[in-house]
Structure 1
Amino acid sequence: MLPSLVVRPCRHTGRVSSDIPPHRIPGRADVLVVGAGPGGSAAAAHAAAAGHDVVLLDAATFPRDKTCGDGLTPRAVAELDHLGLGDYLDDRPRIDGLALHGWGAQQLVHWPSGRFPAYGSAVSRVEFDEAIRVHAVARGARMIQGAKAVDVTMSNGRIDEVIVESADGPAAIAVRDVIVADGVRSALGKALGREWHRDTAYGVAARAYVPSGRADDHWMGSHLELRGPDGALLPGYGWVFPLGGAGDGLLNVGVGALATAQRPAHMALRPILEHYARMVGDEWAIGGPPQRITSALLPMGGAVTGVAGPNWMLIGDAAACVNPLNGEGIDYAMETGRLAVELIDDTRRSPDHTTRWTDILVEHYGLAFSAARRLAGVLTVPQAVPTLGRPGIRSARLMSLVVRVMGNLITPEDADLVARAWRTAGRVSTRIDDRPPFR
């Protein structure tokens, strides 16, 4: 018999969300999903729809904010269709492509058409994460908020129980399978042996919101020539894009930088972000200073090991499934959530996830991540950005390729010259990697 439920309306989806009070934490679950961001909630929704008894756990109380660019690529839009949320973006901005700026030039590049929708969108993470979480509960997942997974009990590498801490004290949940989606720091992943390797490119980023008269624009601004308040060229980029009328007339504005262990990013992000907002203020009709500034450190390109065990898998940011060229990870998070549930449903073929999950991540992302993080590493070298960017921004064809790569829009089925060249670059890069993605 299910425990009594606390019910809250959710104005964003029209559904209701059901939460298990922390003091009524269930004693077991077929599938425990740790982390209710886009990846975890997507995984919970897919698993519940497949008939599993699912518990979705998060240390936060929703709705909650998250440091993120809030942008949704066409690949992320396609994943919403997989979830059954294809109409969620109907009243959200339709982002037709990127307005790329730098070195006195601009290119308007449409999202490429093909397997994915030819448009993206943008929703604040406060709203987006809540909508997917509520959808997972509507599918049948049981939600526990305000409770953190802190440890596990194991036998022969399998998780028997997950130890959960809440305001009411510790509790244990017996599990059959665990999907770890607790973000870039991944406390549970660390407890399971996950290790982040900083010898390849990683990101640092800051994000804020600003009021604007262009909140219903159809372009995502991206500035490849990022300069600090002193005019010095920085190894990073800036972005600005609309959140639409539902976003209260706000823009998301942010700056990001690439770094490696050899070339760390020594940047004071807040003054750089404030300077960038002033720089684009007239163009984007910005009507006030940046609000709700937050920052984050981003493992990228599969630069982690220890992503799976016999009955557990890391997904999304926890598995460093983040694009090394732009810091985007929402589409990877939702996609890996779906793939993880497909593997759970394929237990007869692979009752032990340890090797198979790593192979799946490598199969889907290994070549692209290896090539992208190698290029990202090159961009941390002083003067590499202007050397490549100054002529590149003047080529519409080259910028179209950049957008296709940055948007994670090259698939294994694509057989055109660009796709073949990108996969070849990935194969060459992987062969010379000291540590290939996820290995």
Structure 2
Amino acid sequence: MTDSAREADVIVVGAGPAGSTTAYYLAQAGLDVLLLEKATFPRDKICGDGLTPRAVRQLIAMGIDIDAPGWIRNKGLRIYGGGVKVELPWPELASFPDFGLVRARTDLDEILAERAVTAGAELLQGTNVQAPIIDERLDRIVGVTAKRDGAEVEYRAPLVVAADGNSTRLSLAMGLRKREDRPMGVAVRRYYTTPRHDDDFLESWLELWDGDRLLPGYGWVFGVGNGTSNVGLGLLNTSGSFQNTDYRAMLRRWTAGMPPEWQFTEEFATGPIRGAALPMGFNRQPHYTRGMLLVGDAGGMINPFNGEGIDYAMESGHLAADIIVQALARPTAAQRERALYQYPRILKEEHGGYFTIGRLFVQMIGNPRIMSFLTRHGLPHPTLMRFTLKLLANLTDPRDGDAADRVINAMTKVAPAA
């Protein structure tokens, strides 16, 4: 039985970083916002938990107190590869802070959702969205059906934001399929009690060794600051090993070769190995169609260079909210649609060229010989590695930057945004 529960200006489906950021900015602008989350906080999400300066900038913009207990700062990126260890501080830029953060997603997502509620959004937890409600006359989404407290309910709004992650049931129901020409990754991670929990560098391993055998993929060790570290690895579908790899076994084999004092063993694990897919490079499009906008993982907004998604999730949420606010202020349906169609265009202007270069990059490093060559010949050169850090983390000043900034900005401008 359907209970017509509530109407709003905008419905946001999913209270991860993308959805909560969208809801926060919409509510701040005075709109009536429903934020629907299928789980109940606190809830876990598979992630490395590392936040580069690009993500930190978004947290600061939302007024998050990053000096409160529970946040651990980092100075930069430590890279292992080719028998070399390199520490690269985050660049000093006008556009971004010069530090990163780590915060477990069990905390981070709840903090962001609470921030949206403080701004005026209504958060409904334990609300599992089932399907879009389509106005057949307009061929347009006008709400969603959901299961809540065992009952089927309806929520209606003239605009719906799909922030429901990689699986994005809502997008699939609206006929949007993944683009097979975009990279996809898989990541697994586990928490370990370790003396390395308060490391002030994010750590990236470009080579994963199982004794004398080189494993496919890349790894990370991020100190969470609460007595544990997040240890994980990722593999891209450009690798020949993508389809036939036991990722959990691979993580165990890799960590077995770590120094015993780091405690990355079964005895010190705080939970199971968990994994998730990483949709990259705008792998689901269009980002606006028939009354629905895609933000974050639902729109494949993970950086192909480094697997980072939280910053792009929050940026897309902020942009989507700005566009929606402007659109809903227009007096006619045609004018509202013109405003809404700016969303995918601006997204591609902002990130399309950069993601295109990223797709080429992951095609190259899918070949282990190329990856080995780049690792062994690139890591010993500090200037090259500082350039690489800026490129991989997408950290440049748009104006008045240094030579590296100008080269990277020029590359992303000339690359086609598809």
Distance 1:93 1:162 in 2: 38
CA separation of 1:292 and 1:262: change in aligned 2, threshold 3 A: closer
Q: Does 1:46 align with 2:46?
A: no
After superposition, the C-alpha distances for 1:321-346 in whole angstroms (9 at most, x for unaligned) are 10112211011111111111110111
Would you say 1:344 and 2:324 are equivalent positions?
A: yes
TM-score (normalizing by structure 2): 0.91
From the superposition, tell whether residues 384 and 289 of structure 1 become closer, same or farther in structure 2 (CA, over 3 Å). farther
CA distance in 2, matches of 1:60, 1:89: 25
SS of structure 2 residue aligned to 1:345: helix
Correspondence for 2:96: 116
Q: Report the Cα offset of residue 135 of structure 1.
A: 1.5
Compared CA separation, residues 86 and 401, structure 1 to 2 (3 A): farther
Worse-matched range after superposition: 25-34 or 326-335: 25-34
8 Å contact from structure 2 (residues 239, 367) kept in 1: no
The equivalent of 1:92 in structure 2 is 71
1:7: which partner in 2?
none
Give the match for residue 256 of structure 1.
234
* Partner of residue 179, structure 2: 197
Other-structure match for 1:234: 215
AA paired with 2:257?
A: M
Query: 1: CA distance between counterparts of 2:387 and 2:262?
Result: 26
2:392 maps to: 406
Could you say which residue in structure 2 is the equivalent of 1:363? 349
Does the CA-based 8 Å contact 1:177-1:311 persist in structure 2? yes
Q: CA deviation at 1:68?
A: 0.5
Give the residue type in structure 2 aligned to 1:402: T
Alignment match of 2:170 (pick from 179, 188, 195): 188
| CA shift for structure 1 position 52 | 0.8
Match of 2:312 among 328, 332, 335: 332
- Map Cα deviations across residues 69-109 of structure 1 (whole Å, 9 max, x no partner): 10111111110111111435565211101110111111100
CA distances 1:293-320 after superposition (whole Å, capped 9, x unpaired): 1111111011222321243210011111
Q: What amino acid maps onto 1:40 in structure 2?
A: G
1:137 and 1:230 map into 2 onto residues whose CA distance is 50
Check conservation: 1:151, 1:162, Cα contact below 8 A: yes
Q: Does 1:306 align with 2:286?
A: yes
For the 8 Å contact 1:179–1:313, the answer to whether it is kept is: yes
* Distance of 2:119 and 2:255 partners within structure 1: 41
Cα distance in structure 2, aligned partners of 1:25 and 1:292: 40
Residues 310 and 351 of structure 1 are in contact (CA less than 8 Å); yes or no, is this contact kept in structure 2? Answer: no
Q: TM-score, normalised by structure 1?
A: 0.86
| 1:185–1:318 contact (8 Å) kept in structure 2 | yes
Letter in 2 for 1:394: P
Gap regions ≥5 residues in structure 1: 1-22, 431-435
Cα offset, 1:231, TM superposition: 3.9
Q: Quick one: which amino acid aligns to residue 193 of structure 1? A: G
Deviation larger for 113-122 or 170-179: 170-179
Q: Is 1:56 aligned with 2:35?
A: yes
Q: Is the 8 A contact 1:367 1:423 kept in 2?
A: no
Selected match of 1:267 from 236, 242, 245: 245
CA distance in 2, matches of 1:380, 1:361: 27
Q: Which residue of 1 aligns with 2:50?
A: 71
Partners of 2:47 and 2:152 lie apart in 1 by 31
Distance 1:210 1:154, change over 3 A: same
Per the alignment, in what secondary structure is the counterpart of residue 351 of structure 1?
helix
> Structure 1 residues 214 and 132 mapped into 2: Cα distance closer, same or farther (>3 Å)?
same
Which of these residues, 147, 158, 161, is aligned with residue 140 of structure 2?
158
The aligned length equals 406
Question: Aligned Cα RMSD in Å?
Answer: 2.3
The Cα of 1:285 is off from its aligned counterpart by: 5.5
Map Cα deviations across residues 243-279 of structure 1 (whole Å, 9 max, x no partner): 11xx3x0000000011149874432111111222233
**Aligned pair partner of 1:422 in 392, 408, 411:** 408
> Which letter maps to 2:80?
H
Give, in angstroms, the shift of residue 368 of structure 1.
0.7
Contact 2:194 2:262 in 1 (8 A): yes
Is the 1:194–1:307 Cα contact (8 Å) retained in structure 2? no
Alignment-derived partner of residue 153 in structure 2: 171
Q: Contact (CA 8 Å) 1:99, 1:106: kept in 2 or not?
A: yes
Corresponding residue number in structure 2 for 1:105: 84
Paired amino acid for 2:103: V
Q: Which residue of 2 aligns with 1:36?
A: 15
395-404 vs 332-341, greater mean Cα deviation: 395-404
Describe the shift of the 1:205–1:47 C-alpha distance in structure 2 as closer, same or farther (beyond 3 A): same
Instruction: Go from structure 1 to structure 2 and tell me whether the alpha carbon gap of 1:109 and 1:159 turns closer, same or farther (over 3 Å shift).
Output: same
In structure 2, relative to structure 1, the CA distance for the partners of 1:404 and 1:263 (3 Å cut) is same
**CA–CA separation in structure 2 for the residues paired with 1:175 and 1:202:** 32
Answer whether contact 1:235 1:385 (CA < 8 A) is retained. no
1:129 alignment counterpart = 109
Query: Could you list the per-position Cα deviations for residues 205-224 of structure 1 after superposition, in whole angstroms to 9, with x for gaps in the alignment?
Result: 10110111121120111111
Amino acid at match of 2:125: Q
Contact 1:31 1:179 in 2 (8 A): yes
**Separation of aligned partners in 2, 1:356 and 1:261:** 35
